[in-house]
């Protein structure tokens, strides 16, 4: 479930002291986006605020819309008792849970529950999706931040001139798609692009790592006919691109095994040890650049006409997919009909028609 977000965390403190139990504690969650919990100066949400003037903003370039309420939604303020023993205080996007804890293991359990699980439950009940910006607090008289023990980073070094050269090269590389050719490469590039966007847009590089792996697996599978069903076919084509057996087995095949067996293409409830997860995260830090190199090799050889990828002869759905699609259309139409007939209670539905 959290295979790719389970990096080991520690309580980072400025002083060293032994904690005695039972002990008073405070867990402080800073959630984002901040605006959805109120902001005294401005308000920007994906939902209407009753009793306020709500101005809709629509971006016709990307299909996103949001609302600004005037006066703005003020920072939420609340206080209540949770689970009979713990005090919860809310001030805008800051959630503070405090009380007395009996032992160290249960305290760590509380940290994990609030850091990992609470945003997923709040997402069901709250009208917009939250995420944790920072988890910190105190236990006894010791202040702490609950931070990653280690993060492996990969830095790229570029010159200004090289950046301009790479833009020009990208224009030249476009020529391989002339006359509708090399659709497989185009599809592979798109799945790789999706993976890179997920890495860059997530709340940290690992938030959407399962989806990153899924897109990279699609990327390498779509490049080669039959690659979606056979790792041996992928091995064969990578050999043609001058990858050694060792490179193939260490760079690309593990990705396909992760996709099939470990919390990517299928639900996964098992736990992997922290020691083994460290190896996993060490492997994952390189995959973005491994695929960049793969596409460099493919495009360079296609430009020089020293390599060919089988062309896609037809974009038509095969018979099996046609039957499935027709059944889906029946479900879609029934869903639309049911929606139009059912009255919507307790929810204001706003339909914006953009001309």
Higher-confidence residue of 118 and 348: namely 118
328 within a domain of the structure (yes/no) = no
Mean pLDDT of 289-304: 91
Instruction: Let me know whether 181 and 272 are in one domain.
Output: yes
45 within a domain of the structure (yes/no) = no
Instruction: Let me know whether 167 and 114 are in one domain.
Output: no
Which pLDDT score, from 0 to 100, does residue 110 have? 93
Which pLDDT score, from 0 to 100, does residue 153 have? 59
What's the CA gap between 187 and 183, in Å, rounded?
6
Under a CB-based contact definition with an 8 Å cutoff, are residues 54 and 350 in contact?
A: no
What's the CA gap between 17 and 4, in Å, rounded?
32
What's the CA gap between 311 and 193, in Å, rounded?
21
The single residue listed with the structure tokens 């007939």 is: 341
Count of domains observed in the chain: 2
Q: Which domain holds residue 27?
A: 9-38+75-148
Average pLDDT score over the chain = 84
Which H/E stretch holds residue 135?
Answer: strand 131-139
* Lowest-pLDDT choice from 16-25, 167-176, 324-333, 338-347: 338-347
Under a CB-based contact definition with an 8 Å cutoff, are residues 249 and 335 in contact?
A: no
Which of 148, 170, 189 marks a domain boundary? 148
Instruction: Let me know whether 167 and 137 are in one domain.
Output: no
Torsion of CA 211, 215, 216, 218, to 10 degrees: 140
Output DSSP code: residue 228. Answer: T
User: Got the DSSP string for 304-316?
Assistant: HTS---------S
Copy the structure tokens of residue 113: 């529950």
Instruction: Let me know whether 28 and 126 are in one domain.
Output: yes
Instruction: Let me know whether 251 and 131 are in one domain.
Output: no
Name the pTM for this structure: 0.80
Instruction: Tell me the pLDDT band of 293, cut-offs 50, 70 and 90.
Output: very high
């Amino acid at each position: 479930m959290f295979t790719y977000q389970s990096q080991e965390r520690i309580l980072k403190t400025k002083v060293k002291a032994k904690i005695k139990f039972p002990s008073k504690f405070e867990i402080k969650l800073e959630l984002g986006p901040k605006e959805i919990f109120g902001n005294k100066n401005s308000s920007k949400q994906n939902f209407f605020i009753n009793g306020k003037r709500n101005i809709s903003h629509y971006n016709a370039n990307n299909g996103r819309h949001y609302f600004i309420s005037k006066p703005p939604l003020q920072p939420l303020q609340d206080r209540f008792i949770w689970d009979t023993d713990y005090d919860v205080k809310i001030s805008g996007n800051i959630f503070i849970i405090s009380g007395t804890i009996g032992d160290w293991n249960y305290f760590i359990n509380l940290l994990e529950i609030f850091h990992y699980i609470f945003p997923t439950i709040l997402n069901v009940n709250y009208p917009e999706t939250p995420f944790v910006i920072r988890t910190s607090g105190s236990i006894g008289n010791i202040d702490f931040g609950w931070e990653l023990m280690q993060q492996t980073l990969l830095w790229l070094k570029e010159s200004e001139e090289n950046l301009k050269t790479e833009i020009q090269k990208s224009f030249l590389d476009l020529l391989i798609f002339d006359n509708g050719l090399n659709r497989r490469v185009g599809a592979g590039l798109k799945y790789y692009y999706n993976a890179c966007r997920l890495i860059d847009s997530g709340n940290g590089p690992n938030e959407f790592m399962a989806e990153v792996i899924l897109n990279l697996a699609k990327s390498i599978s779509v490049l080669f006919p039959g690659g979606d069903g056979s790792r041996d076919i992928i091995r064969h084509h990578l050999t043609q691109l001058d990858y050694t057996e060792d490179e193939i087995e260490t760079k690309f095949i593990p990705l396909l095994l992760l996709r099939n067996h470990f919390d990517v293409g299928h639900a996964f409830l098992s736990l992997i040890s922290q020691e083994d997860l460290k190896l996993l995260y060490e492997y994952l830090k390189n995959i973005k650049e491994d695929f960049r190199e793969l596409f460099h090799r493919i495009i360079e050889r296609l430009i020089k006409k020293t390599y060919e990828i089988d062309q896609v002869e037809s974009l038509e759905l095969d018979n099996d997919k046609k039957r499935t699609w027709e059944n889906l259309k029946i479900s879609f139409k029934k869903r639309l009909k049911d929606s139009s007939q059912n009255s919507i209670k307790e929810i204001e539905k706003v339909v914006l028609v953009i001309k």
